[in-house]
Amino acid sequence: METIRPRWWKPARDESGNPAALCGLCFHCCLIKQGLSGRCGARRFDGSAFESPFLGKFVSVAIDPIEKKPLYHWRPGTKILSLGSLRCNLFCPFCQNHAIAHPKGETAAREISPRDLALTASRHGLAAVAYTYNEPTLQAEYIISAAPLLREAGIATVMVTNGLFSSEARDELATLTEAMNIDIKAFGKNSYAPLGAAEKSARGGRGSAEETVMENVESLFRAGVHIELTNLAVPGISDSEDRFAEMVNWIAGISREMPLHISRYFPAYRYEAPPTDIRLMKKLESIARGKLKFVHLGNVW
Ligand code: SF4
């Protein structure tokens, strides 16, 4: 496979004047010292080269109903080739995919070239590929390399993401991605702190994590990407009715027709609070239905 190089970084110096790398792919804007990795663990600097060892490498490949992403209003009833890789730029204590998002030790990953990806999707008669399961921002360079080839074969690109990419990466992804489900993990001041995102990016000057996600949603929507949003109601983290109502107002200000999936939390990974109360789920649904046209509850069976 042709080597896909990591981008959006530049040489820098650490506080002692030693060579370092400044990664500008996502909100965190990590200053990576020699021999170390960024917060995501997917980008590292060896003193001269900047590396992203998992680019183009995947640990999960599956064919899913598009509704599982969830995307309910874009090509409903179709199936999609889903790819998951390793690592994440958030640290949600309730992560259901922690085995690949924050793996312990080595995990075997399979390299798939963009051409093989297009062939595989075509052979299965699939018209879309989704980067999902772990955070696909970390595959941005691969997604950007593969998308034109996929388009030539009539295959669309979909991302299921936390939306914390930098504006530079976002603007390129916007031209190559047909649909995204963006997870609004929390809403309101400092709401991403329990998920491992500081109130303000250390170096990027892009505002808070929630502001970064909001800006990206609005920009991608205006660029013509089909956007559906997900909000997981986690007790003690993202279960405030007031903050939820503020989020709904914000969404409605962009478009009343932007679909919102409200998902019920279940205990996972390091978070043991009981599942979200069904009465709260119904209340959130009712708040959202007051402003938005397409509201879906998830995990409520
Ligand atoms: S966490 Fe974000 S900024 Fe830091 S190294 Fe990973 S992609 Fe780059």
- Residues 59-95 pLDDT 10s: 999 999 999 999 999 999 999 999 999 999 999 999 9
Taking residues 241-261, report their average pLDDT: 98
Token match 């990953």: residue? Answer: 109
Does 185 contact ligand 1 (Cβ within 6 A)?
no
Taking residues 277-294, report their average pLDDT: 98
Strands (E), the chain: 9-13, 19-23, 31-33, 36-37, 44-45, 50-51, 57-58, 60-65, 79-84, 110-111, 128-131, 156-161, 179-183, 226-233, 260-264, 295-298
- Closest ligand 1 atom to residue 164 Cα is 2
Does 40 contact ligand 1 (Cβ within 6 A)?
yes
Q: Enter the DSSP assignment of 111.
A: E
Q: Enter the DSSP assignment of 96.
A: T
Model pLDDT for residues 127-150, shown as the tens digit of each residue:
999 999 999 999 999 999 999 999
- Which pLDDT score is estimated for 207? 82
Instruction: Select from 103, 98, 69 the least CA-distant residue to 83.
Output: 69
Residue 249 has pLDDT above 60, yes or no: yes
**Closest residue by CA, ligand 1 atom 6:** 40
The half-sphere exposure of 16 on its side-chain side, counting CA atoms within 13 A, is 5
Taking residues 247-268, report their average pLDDT: 98
Interval between CA 136 and ligand 1 midpoint (Å): 12
Taking residues 233-244, report their average pLDDT: 97
Taking residues 206-210, report their average pLDDT: 84
- Closest ligand 1 atom to residue 29 Cα is 3
Does 38 contact ligand 1 (Cβ within 6 A)?
yes
Residue 199 has pLDDT above 90, yes or no: no
- Which pLDDT score is estimated for 202? 64
- Which pLDDT score is estimated for 140? 98
- Which pLDDT score is estimated for 198? 79
**Closest residue by CA, ligand 1 atom 2:** 26
Interval between CA 292 and ligand 1 midpoint (Å): 34
- Which pLDDT score is estimated for 200? 72
- Burial, 238: exposed, middle or buried (Cβ in 10 Å; 0-12, 13-18, 19+)? buried
Q: Do the strands 31-33 and 9-13 form a parallel or antiparallel pair, or are they unpaired? A: unpaired
Interval between CA 27 and ligand 1 midpoint (Å): 7
Name the pTM for this structure. 0.97
Pocket test for ligand 1, best of 26, 54, 135 (most atoms within 8 A of CB): 26
- Which pLDDT score is estimated for 205? 55
**Closest residue by CA, ligand 1 atom 5:** 38
Model pLDDT for residues 93-133, shown as the tens digit of each residue:
999 999 999 999 888 999 999 999 999 999 999 999 999 99
Residue 43 has pLDDT above 60, yes or no: yes
Element (H, E) at 30: none
Interval between CA 289 and ligand 1 midpoint (Å): 36
Taking residues 215-238, report their average pLDDT: 98
Task: Tell me the percentage of the chain whose pLDDT exceeds 90.
Answer: 93
Q: Which two tokens stand for residue 150?
A: 């996929």
Q: Do the strands 128-131 and 156-161 form a parallel or antiparallel pair, or are they unpaired? A: parallel
Q: Which residues are registered as beta bridge partners of 45?
A: 36, 50
Give the domains, in start order, of the chain with CATH numbers.
9-51 (no CATH), 57-298 (3.20.20.70)
Does 98 contact ligand 1 (Cβ within 6 A)?
no
Phi and psi angles of residue 20, each rounded to the nearest 5 degrees, phi first: -150, 175
- Which pLDDT score is estimated for 203? 59
Pocket test for ligand 1, best of 10, 22, 23 (most atoms within 8 A of CB): 23
Instruction: Select from 86, 20, 13, 29 the least CA-distant residue to 49.
Output: 20
- Which pLDDT score is estimated for 204? 58
- Closest ligand 1 atom to residue 26 Cα is 2
> Mean pLDDT lowest for which of 159-168, 198-207, 264-273?
198-207
Does 43 contact ligand 1 (Cβ within 6 A)?
yes
- Closest ligand 1 atom to residue 32 Cα is 5
Does 90 contact ligand 1 (Cβ within 6 A)?
no
Interval between CA 160 and ligand 1 midpoint (Å): 18
- Which pLDDT score is estimated for 264? 98
Does 29 contact ligand 1 (Cβ within 6 A)?
yes
Q: Enter the DSSP assignment of 165.
A: B
- Closest ligand 1 atom to residue 24 Cα is 3
